[in-house]
Amino acid sequence: MKFRNWGHNIDFDTSRYFKMWQQADETNYHTFQHLHPLHPPQWKALGWVEAKNMEEVINGFKKTSILKVPKWVLIKHWLKEMKRRLTA
């Protein structure tokens, strides 16, 4: 399981988090809120994407701006992470 070697694997209960994701489906996805394991408000809710495979999911997202993150957000995150690593 990827969560075991994830950088934040000691910061939260990865088994519980993984089980939560296993429960999500097209009938209950809208009930999942505040999903980020370390900063819940950063990921407020889920959406549902109908697809037969991952290729359809990826191609669907390429046609929309729903997942595009502004460059300033990425830079801010990168700088914050570098500061954290340098002071650790």
Structure token digits, residue 76: 């801010």
- The overall pTM is greater than 0.85: no
Q: pLDDT tens across 6-43, in order? A: 666 677 888 888 899 899 999 999 999 998 888 888 88
Quote the distance between the C-alpha of residue 37 and its chain's center: 9
Distance CA 49, CA 52 (A): 10
Distance CA 34, CA 66 (A): 18
Lowest mean pLDDT among 24-28, 43-47, 63-67: 63-67
Q: What is the mean pLDDT of the chain?
A: 82
Distance CA 27, CA 4 (A): 28
Q: Containing domain of residue 33, as a range?
A: 2-87
